Amino acid sequence: MTKIIISIGATIVALGGLVWIAQPNASGPAAPQIQASNGSLTVLEASRYDFGNISMAAGKVKYVFKIKNTGTEAVTINKMFTSCMCTSALLTVGEQKIGPYGMPGHGFVPTINQVVQPAVEITVEAVFDPAAHGPAGVGQINRVITLENNAGTPVELKITAFVTP
């Protein structure tokens, strides 16, 4: 009986530790500027966008993030991917549209190797499909679009919403 109680207690402590480690950073939005020795990609407006309340029945919603290379050297975007299959991202550099890209594991995420020259502005169009998860997909959502680059820290663009039927 004592072994069972100790096992249950250890399991509760282990699960609690996993939940604590996995919780999102509660310190607020990510820092909007990513610096590196060879350049920087700066999110011009916000690195987080809240769609507010959206209905599954209304269909997909979109938001365009503006990003600029504020460094003195070119930055190469190596890969772009999303945190969930319900979200896709389209990169636009000048007139060139690259993507859309989705979640790793739900399709091939190729290497982009797109060079962004100093002072050049690019955009990332985030598309969220509130109906992608079906009836179980109602409630608060938090999704991330990640741009891996050679300037160091990946750029994370975050979208949130409250999905209703």
Residue 41 resides in a domain: yes
Express each pLDDT in 33-92 by its tens digit. Answer: 433 334 567 775 668 999 999 999 999 999 999 999 888 888 999 999 999 999 999 999
Lowest mean pLDDT segment, chosen from 9-23, 65-79, 141-155: 9-23
Residue 114 resides in a domain: yes
| HSE-up of residue 17 (Cα within 13 Å, Cβ side) | 6
Mean pLDDT of 19-34: 39
* Angle in degrees, CA 113, 123, 146, rounded to 5: 60
Express each pLDDT in 113-140 by its tens digit. Answer: 999 999 899 999 999 999 999 988 999 9
Structural domain harbouring 117: 29-164
Residue 17 resides in a domain: no
Q: Domain containing 68 — which CATH number?
A: 2.60.40.10
pLDDT score of 124: 96
DSSP for 72-88? SS-EEEEEEEESSTTEE
Residue 47 resides in a domain: yes
Residue 105 reports pLDDT greater than 70: yes
Residue 105 resides in a domain: yes
Residue 53 resides in a domain: yes
Residue 22 resides in a domain: no
Residue 6 resides in a domain: no
Number of domains in the chain: 1
Task: Characterize the bridge pairing of strands 155-164 and 121-128.
Answer: unpaired
3-state secondary structure of 1: coil
Integer Cα distance of 126 and 117 in angstroms: 22
Integer Cα distance of 128 and 63 in angstroms: 9
Integer Cα distance of 1 and 87 in angstroms: 49
Whether pTM exceeds 0.75: no
CB 68 within 8 A of CB 44: yes
